[in-house]
Amino acid sequence: MRVSSPIQFGRNLSLAPTGVVPIPKGELRVINTDPHNQKEKGLIPVSNPQGETMWVHPDIVQSQ
């Protein structure tokens, strides 16, 4: 079977973009900051050096 119009790369420049399209900025919403009800257990949030949140007993924080 013979193809009547072969693909010619770089010949069809009409499909090239004509400008820059801005990408919308992402949005982050925190819905539940305490999903395991740690505050009700008497624990307090403490951030570690990696930026993660650890829930610890207040006596541990007061002793440091």
Given pLDDT bands bounded at 50, 70 and 90, which one contains residue 23? confident
In tens, the pLDDT along 39-62 reads 889 999 988 899 888 899 999 887
Residue with the two structure tokens 């900025």: 25
Q: What is the pLDDT of residue 13?
A: 54
Distance of alpha carbon 40 from alpha carbon 61, whole angstroms: 17
User: Is the per-residue pLDDT at 10 higher than 80?
Assistant: no
Q: Which two tokens stand for residue 64?
A: 């440091």
Q: Mean pLDDT for the chain?
A: 79
Asked if residue 48 lies in contact with residue 56, where contact means CB atoms within 8 angstroms, the answer is no
